Amino acid sequence: MLIDIITIFPEVCKPYLDSSILGIAQEKGKLEIRLHNLRDYTLDKHRKVDDRPFGGGPGMILTAEPVFRAVEAIKRTADSGQRTTKVILLTPQGKTLNQKLAEKLSKRKHLILICGRYEGVDERVRESLVDEEISIGDYILSGGELAALVLTDSLARLLPGVLGHKDSNVRESFSNNLLEYPQYTRPADFRGLGVPQVLLSGDHKKIEEWRKHQAVKITKKKRPDLLRGP
Ligand SMILES: C[S@@+](CC[C@H](N)C(=O)[O-])C[C@H]1O[C@@H](n2cnc3c(N)ncnc32)[C@H](O)[C@@H]1O
């Protein structure tokens, strides 16, 4: 999978993208992530990417020109004839990201993520360039970078061969509309706090039953909406 991220703060994204699972996914060749500085696609010598909103109002708006030029250039270099590219705008107006949406997007070969800044992006980007709008929740961030990182991270975990154990995804919260069962690790006695005996029993069938029961119990208590399904 190839993910291109367009941002005015590539240096903010890079350390996270190079660390942990995302770094491993790239090393293993399962994921390629390319960061693009929006300013590299401006036409003026000041590399200006924003302007005042028509009609007045607070703040600045990212102009359409560099965003269009960036997406067009990326599509050319990404050999898009061979791939179906989806252009995603990170925006509070988008569909809220959840595991189902992440699963769907993880099947794509190429995504271009546009990170907004300031008061947002010229509406013509949304109208003529963007295939899908995604939000990471009902709150306002200062820019789309964190949202792009959240989305990229959620996708990387789902790519075959990225996580160590092949079952890791299947057992995680939200797969099968359940939250995860409780997990414990050594020591078995921590400051007098124990571990459910069944987990120490070595009886894999019983452990499996206990985990399933716990997952249902926890989901009923914390997120009963998940049990009702989509
Ligand atoms: C300060 S926000 C702009 C908010 C905009 N004025 C509004 O009221 O919808 C700047 C940028 O951060 C990103 N952003 C903010 N909150 C987000 C969220 N919940 N999900 C995804 N992106 C978000 C978007 O790219 C947005 O263009």
Q: What is the CATH number of the domain that holds 208?
A: 1.10.1270.20
Is residue 81 pLDDT above 90, yes or no? no
- 57 CB within 6 A, ligand 1: no
Is residue 191 pLDDT above 90, yes or no? yes
Average pLDDT over residues 3-32: 97
pLDDT, tens digit (0-9, with 9 covering 90-100), for 107-150: 999 999 999 999 999 999 999 999 999 999 999 999 999 999 99
- 143 CB within 6 A, ligand 1: yes
The number of the ligand 1 atom at minimal distance from the alpha carbon of 135 is: 20
The answer to whether residues 151 and 215 belong to one domain is no
- In total, how many domains does the chain have? 2
Q: Which domain holds residue 80?
A: 2-156
CA nearest ligand 1 atom 18, residue:
92
The answer to whether residues 15 and 55 belong to one domain is yes
180, 173 in Cβ contact below 8 A? yes
**Is the pTM here over 0.85, yes or no?**
yes
- 6 CB within 6 A, ligand 1: no
Is residue 80 pLDDT above 60, yes or no? no
| pLDDT top residue among 168 and 223 | 223
Who's near 100: CB < 8 A, 6+ residues apart? 174, 230
Cα gap 76→2, rounded to integer Å: 13
Domain of 84: which CATH number? 3.40.1280.10
For residue 114, give the 3-state DSSP assignment. strand
The helix (H) or strand (E) run that includes residue 152 is helix 145-156
The number of the ligand 1 atom at minimal distance from the alpha carbon of 118 is: 10
Q: Is residue 162 part of a domain?
A: no
The answer to whether residues 109 and 15 belong to one domain is yes
- How many angstroms separate the alpha carbon of residue 134 from the centre of ligand 1? 10
Cα gap 171→180, rounded to integer Å: 7
Band the pLDDT of 223: cuts 50, 70, 90.
Answer: very high
